[in-house]
Each structure stands twice: as structure tokens, then as C-alpha cells.
Amino acid sequence: MQKNYFHDRKHYIENKVQKKTIPLNYIYRKRIVDINKLLNRVRLEKKSETKRKIVFYSTISVSVLLFGFFIF
């Protein structure tokens, strides 16, 4: 659809094209899930979480000890 505008002694042409939306067809496929892979992923995430906790608490304890040492 084309529209013409005249404003402040200038001529504007506006082109508006309406796009048609294409309906999407979703194909539902059955996915095979291996329970061992899922369990291994959970174990690895748990190990990495415990490592992060150990590093965090050791950093805090070392910083408290150093702060106490410099104060004393």
C-alpha cells in the first residue's frame, strides 16, 4: 500500500508492505534420553559446585586470618 504525504512543502512517499505470516508446522519427534548421561551430568555439576564452595570458604578463611594477623 502506497501513501503520499505533503507536509512543510515536502513531498513524502511511504511504502507499507504487509507481510503475510507463514504458519509454522511443528514436528514432534520422540527423543531418546539416556538416563546414564543425565546422571553423569548431575554428578559433574555436583562436583563442580562442591569445588566452588571449597574455594569460596577457603578464600574467606584466609582473608579473615590475614586481617587478624595484620590487626594483631
Q: What's the pLDDT tens digit per position in 15-66?
A: 555 566 666 666 667 778 899 999 999 999 999 999 999 999 999 999 999 9
Overall average pLDDT of the 2-14 stretch: 53
The per-residue b/e assignment along 31-52, b for 16 or more CB within 10 angstroms, e otherwise, is eeeeeeeeeeeeeeeeeeeeee
pLDDT of residue 23: 66
Q: If pLDDT is split at 50, 70 and 90, which confidence band does 1 have?
A: very low
pTM of the model as a whole: 0.50
Q: If pLDDT is split at 50, 70 and 90, which confidence band does 72 have?
A: confident
